[in-house]
Chains A and B, each alone.
Chain A
């Protein structure tokens, strides 16, 4: 009964067309009091044309018939009666209907063309956005999230995508949309495990009488995952239509995904992720395994260093000190490895607190006193600096790295100066040494992971991680690291720049002292 359905859908529009005619009649009746237009019935062309343009043929025909009836009733003798329609009115009626049909048809064609153009434009825009997201996606979850969004904008119904290697829905950051009924979930699992009976999908009914379609996104490429689409009320007459449309859309989408080589992109992302996880796990466990014996070595060495039989013999004391210092060095290398792992797995999450910069400097200097023993360390921290809002552990570690570098690349007995002062809206913490410095070319690479100046490779041990870690940690606290040198063997200054939060500080000072 498609025609009846269509007619029912037109009812509101027909109603509006009749309202238009009624309004026109009312206007004419008022105008009639003052002037007598000669060809009154032609004025009814206005509602007929308007209805045709706005709502199409059927409401326009309804408007035409209503117009003729109204004009016969109100404006032709005998007034207020439908009696004796004369030839002119019949001609008018025929004319109106022809106009209604022609205009309505023209409008329909035009509207259809406009609709198609708009849809096409949307599709192109969607596809463009989709391919951009694919290009940017690094992990497979990102790719699935992109597919999910692409499909739901195409299907225009609620749909939930499941990754091919897990039975949990793709995370799009909106968890409430990810819930599917139990029956649907078990059907999805069947599809993922390859136990599903049909390639073109299975229909599942949930408790609230809604019908879901569960199917592979693409029957030939299982990597795209399984999608569950809410088709709507089971009793709906349109169900078959919707199912047909969804199948069509999915076929197109699958072809698009194939053409864009999405399967390979997913594969590569998974491989990358697995390699990354493996590497991080390896570094993590190696560092842990190294640390346990190191704690015993360092502890034992410190006992030896202070034991009377050893302190009484200069040669033994020197040996015990070597063990202690080298264990310290190993410990800080392991700490660097762990920090590097944290940075590359992006698990650095600053816990920020108000801090006094001098505390950070002192703490870093104390932690590195074994390394600074051969240097002259001077500290000049202005005592009216505002508090800074940073993660103290990250900032201390960053500073330790910079101090380490200063000690490592400057000769024993030389001076290391640590200064902190305010410069405009910044607090600048600078570590200056009298060491090997760096050339302009080396400066460009400073702070790159694993970068070490060629001059130092053979004579100074190091991993090239220090400044990279310092930069990452300072950046995590909204700061910047900069480095200057007047050239090779003319010393270097490495600075940490932190923003000042002035207003906040002044308020705090008042509140603390009540």
Chain B
């Protein structure tokens, strides 16, 4: 491992899970640290801050939302939670508490890596204030408030542009319905999910090749939306971008 490789802290009480996560992340160019419970995780994260934390929600000593809140209290480190299926409300709560994304157990390594890269990139984007975001054929130029498809300008209403902007700030990671509604329509409308559906549908008709088979603006059932990012890059490249 070179000094350039990003450090991921894997927090899970199951040794088998840690084992394959270590292999998967190392093969992808990460340096892996492990913790088997919440207290250890917080200690390790404090002593030597990692670039990314993967945390399981079924830890023996700490509730999932507690560990997210305690980490978020002092650190903006990208954070991805591993949750079990069938608890949409819990996932939303964790995302609102500050987790960047979630992956449902059991999951494939490729899926987790994609989320991890997106979360790392978000840090790059926000720290560097990157003015241009790309997703497939779509380009969003924040400076010029310009959205183009294959170089061709797409006229958007203010609500559509704002929605795309919020999603682009978290490109590759899920953004909850509540967060989108609050950012685009304001706090009084956080429960009006139908507003979101209607504007998303119109937006898709403008930016997707086939609005019924979206490739850019993806749905996370029961949670929110995700702006797809291009082909996954390697961890080293992301780290270099972060350091530059």
Enumerate chain A interface residues (CB-CB to B < 8 A): 291-300, 302-303, 306-308, 324, 327, 331, 335, 338, 351, 353-356, 358-363, 379, 381, 383, 387, 392-393, 396, 508-509, 511-513
Contacts and interface: CB of A to CB of B under 8 A. Distances in A.
Contacts of A513: 157, 159, 198-199, 202
B88 interface: yes
Contacts of B17: 295-296, 299
Given A363-B221, A508-B198, A302 B109 contact: yes
A291 B105 CA distance: 9
Nearest to B177: A353
Contact of A303 (B109, B159, B193): B109
Contacts of A363: 219, 221
B199 A393 contact: no
A444 to B, nearest CB: 32
A381 B108 contact: no
Contacts of A361: 212
Given A299-B21, A353-B193, A359-B219, A291 B106 contact: yes
For the complex of A and B, 6 pairs with smallest distance between CB atoms: A296-B16, A354-B194, A302-B108, A295-B106, A512-B195, A359-B219
Contacts of A308: 27
B106 A355 contact: no
B157 A354 contact: no
A296 B88 contact: no
Nearest to B17: A296
A299 B108 contact: yes
B194 A508 contact: yes
B236 interface: no
Contact of B105 (A295, A300, A353, A362): A295
A351 B88 CA distance: 10
B201 interface: yes
B113 to A, nearest CB: 9
A383 B20 CA distance: 42
Given A292-B14, A299-B20, A299-B109, A392 B221 contact: yes
Contacts of A295: 14, 17, 105-107
B23 interface: yes
Interface of B: 14, 16-17, 19-21, 23-24, 27, 84-86, 88-89, 105-110, 157, 159, 192-202, 205, 211-214, 219, 221-222
Given A307-B27, A331-B106, A353-B222, 17 more contacts: A291-B84, A291-B105, A291-B106, A296-B14, A297-B106, A299-B21, A299-B108, A299-B109, A303-B24, A360-B221, A383-B212, A387-B194, A387-B197, A387-B198, A393-B86, A511-B195, A512-B195
Contacts of A362: 212-214, 219
Contacts of B199: 512-513
A303 B194 contact: no
Given A299-B17, A355-B197, A512-B195, A396 B107 contact: no
A330 to B, nearest CB: 9
Nearest to B159: A513
Contacts of A396: 221
Contacts of B159: 512-513
Nearest to B21: A299
B110 A302 contact: yes
A359 B177 CA distance: 14
A501 to B, nearest CB: 10
Q: Is the interface of B mostly helix, strand, loop or mixed?
A: helix
Given A294-B106, A362-B214, A356 B221 contact: no
A354 B221 CA distance: 11
A129 B89 CA distance: 43
A355 B14 CA distance: 37
Nearest to A308: B27
21 contacts: A291-B105, A291-B106, A293-B16, A294-B106, A295-B14, A295-B105, A295-B107, A299-B24, A300-B16, A302-B109, A303-B20, A306-B27, A306-B109, A306-B110, A335-B85, A353-B222, A356-B200, A392-B222, A393-B88, A393-B221, A512-B194
B85 A327 contact: no
Contacts of B157: 513
A359 B221 contact: yes
Contacts of A293: 16
A300 B20 contact: yes
Nearest to A514: B159
B162 to A, nearest CB: 13
B197 A298 contact: no
Nearest to A361: B212
A141 B179 CA distance: 44
Contacts of B200: 356
Contact of A508 (B86, B195, B211): B195
Query: Which of A293, A351, A513 has the most chain B CB within a 10 Å cutoff?
Result: A513
A381 to B, nearest CB: 4
A66 B20 CA distance: 107
B225 to A, nearest CB: 9
Which of B27, B85, B201, B214 gathers most chain A CB within 10 Å? B201
A299 B106 contact: yes
A335 B199 CA distance: 33
Contacts of A303: 20, 23-24, 27, 109
B78 to A, nearest CB: 20
Contacts of B193: 353-354
Contacts of A292: 14
A361 B210 CA distance: 14
B27 A356 contact: no
Contacts of A307: 23, 27
A512 B198 contact: yes
Contacts of A381: 212
Contacts of B107: 295, 298-299
A299 B82 CA distance: 12
A346 B55 CA distance: 33
B86 A338 contact: yes
Contacts of A356: 197, 200-201, 219
B27 A383 contact: no
Contacts of A298: 106-108
A509 B108 contact: no
Contacts of B221: 359-360, 363, 392-393, 396
A293 B84 CA distance: 13
Q: Which among A300, A351, A512 has the greatest number of chain B C-beta atoms within 10 A?
A: A512
